[in-house]
Chains A and B, each alone.
Chain A
Amino acid sequence: MKRTRLHFLTATLLALAPVCAAQQPATDKGFSATAEIVKAATDGQVWGALIFASSAAEAKAVKTGDLPKELEDLPKRLGKVFDFKSFELMGQHTQQIFREYESWVVPSKDLFLKVDSKGPAEGGGMNLHLQFWQEQQVLLKTDAVLRAGSPLFIGGPKWRGGQLVFVLMLKKGNDQ
């Protein structure tokens, strides 16, 4: 019964999504589905990625072109912290940080992050409350000051002889 309801809800949302998109096409800045969304104030933008760190011979390495310019050296940086040879970019998501609403950074359905803005930080950057979720379970809650150029690495669960790492970075231009 519960599954049937979920399927119905999914089908409804999927059916409505293209209609909304057709009515108000996406702009370069993204959020344009409804008038309310356009009005939502933002405090900046974050880039989130799920990385698979591995030393397996068949591991795929991150292509530099797939990364934001300010983090082109991400594999090198990850290599300083995590003892693996290869870092595969599994998913990435750039998300606005809403001032008054929660924001979700979801490069994967398996591991994702909830971000609440607490406003600009003294000395630059953003004060953020972060929740690291593994499907329906919250693994970590943290308060952090995030500054552009200095990403946050979260070492998550082990998988297939490697480790899943979540990367969160404040995009430049938002570091006040």
Chain B
Amino acid sequence: MKTSPDETQIVRWLDGEMDAAESAAFEKEVAAHPERRAEMESMKKLGATLRASVPASREVPHADFFNSQIQVRIAQEEMDAERSRPRSKAGVFSWLRIPMFATAAALIAIAGLLWMQRGSGSGSVILSSYVPNPGVQARTFHDDEANATVIILDGLAEYPADKSIAGHRVHHSETDTAVATTTLFSEDGGVLLVLAKDARNQPRVLSHSPRG
């Protein structure tokens, strides 16, 4: 018996996180479940309504209080864990171990702080990254010699050699926020392409003039 797609799959489909094959299989699966089609349409409408009425980002109310409460909670849990831990017999050098560990931890913390300060002052920084495809890994690092921040996506499917990859020299672009389209123009004023959104709020390239 086949199972119908769950909400996670619907969200992944809506967010454009499926590759072409997975997306096609998903759509075929949904076609076999009319009730799921209705659910997807409902989620699409909900998404559109939320995007239209909710700001993209919002400050956490009383953030300082929120953070302090989290820290208090973490401290309490650490103390509880410490109390429940069985006491080991103190060795001759056990008194020495604690300061050594403390010193090592402090040195690591200082080194980390210096590294972070160095990173925050000059170069670009990656704060977080997410790769929807579980077969792909993102490696992030800063290359000092290139003075560049680098993300390498390992495990991506290779493009077939016969695929034509076209680039544009965009002279200027115009964005119509009312209909969420971006039109790219060449130096001679010709339209290179129009990027619009489909019903799932995913980008669609509507026209394209290959160059080079």
A interface vs B, CB < 8 Å? 6, 9-10, 13-14, 17-18, 20-21, 26, 30-34, 36-37, 40, 50, 52, 66, 77-78, 80-81, 89-96, 98, 100-104, 106-112, 114, 116, 118, 122-125, 127, 132-133, 135-147, 149-160, 164, 170
14 pairs, A vs B, C-beta closer than 8 Å: A6-B206, A33-B176, A50-B167, A80-B146, A91-B168, A95-B173, A123-B121, A136-B16, A136-B23, A142-B138, A152-B151, A156-B153, A158-B158, A160-B161
**Distance (Å) between the CB of A67 and the closest chain B CB?**
12
Residues of B within 8 A of A123 (CB): 120-121
Residues of B within 8 A of A154 (CB): 150-151, 153
Interface presence of B157 (CB below 8 A) = yes
Interface presence of B57 (CB below 8 A) = yes
Residues of A within 8 A of B183 (CB): 13, 17, 33
**A106 and B18 contacting across the interface, CB-CB below 8 Å:** no
Within 8 A of A (CB), among B188-205: 189, 191, 193-196, 202-205
Q: Which of B36-44, B74-82, B102-110, B122-130 contacts its partner?
A: B122-130
* Contact status of A36 and B177, CB under 8 A, knowing A94-B170, A136-B203: yes
Interface presence of B96 (CB below 8 A) = no
**A104 and B203 contacting across the interface, CB-CB below 8 Å:** yes
**B153 and A155 contacting across the interface, CB-CB below 8 Å:** yes
User: Does more than half of chain A's interface fall in helix, strand or loop, or is it mixed?
Assistant: strand
**A37 and B149 contacting across the interface, CB-CB below 8 Å:** no
Partner of B17, one of A101, A124, A137: A137
Partner of A137, one of B19, B121, B150, B207: B19
**Distance (Å) between the CB of B183 and the closest chain A CB?**
6
What are the 5 closest A-B residue pairs judged by CB atoms, nearest first? A91-B167, A90-B167, A93-B170, A155-B152, A77-B146
Assembled-state Cα–Cα distance A17/B196 (Å) = 13
**Distance (Å) between the CB of A63 and the closest chain B CB?**
12
B interface vs A, CB < 8 Å? 15-20, 23, 56-57, 120-133, 136, 138, 143, 145-153, 156-159, 161, 163, 165-170, 172-178, 180-185, 189, 191, 193-196, 202-208, 211-212
**Distance (Å) between the CB of B158 and the closest chain A CB?**
4
Residues of B within 8 A of A20 (CB): 174
Assembled-state Cα–Cα distance A43/B133 (Å) = 31
**Distance (Å) between the CB of A53 and the closest chain B CB?**
12
Residues of A within 8 A of B165 (CB): 50, 52, 90, 108, 110-111, 159, 164
Number of A-B contacts (CB under 8 A): 243
**Distance (Å) between the CB of A60 and the closest chain B CB?**
9
* Contact status of A93 and B56, CB under 8 A, knowing A17-B191, A136-B20, A143-B128: no
Residues of A within 8 A of B163 (CB): 159
Residue of B nearest to A39 (CB): B177
**A21 and B167 contacting across the interface, CB-CB below 8 Å:** no
* Contact status of A157 and B156, CB under 8 A, knowing A33-B174, A80-B143: yes
Residues of A within 8 A of B153 (CB): 132, 139-140, 154-157
Residues of A within 8 A of B125 (CB): 144-145
Residue among B20, B125, B138, B181 with the highest chain A CB neighbour number at 10 A = B125
Residue of A nearest to B157 (CB): A157
**Distance (Å) between the CB of B177 and the closest chain A CB?**
5
**A140 and B176 contacting across the interface, CB-CB below 8 Å:** no
Residue of A nearest to B179 (CB): A13
**A108 and B168 contacting across the interface, CB-CB below 8 Å:** yes
Partner of B16, one of A36, A124, A133, A151: A133
Assembled-state Cα–Cα distance A158/B154 (Å) = 10
**A147 and B203 contacting across the interface, CB-CB below 8 Å:** no
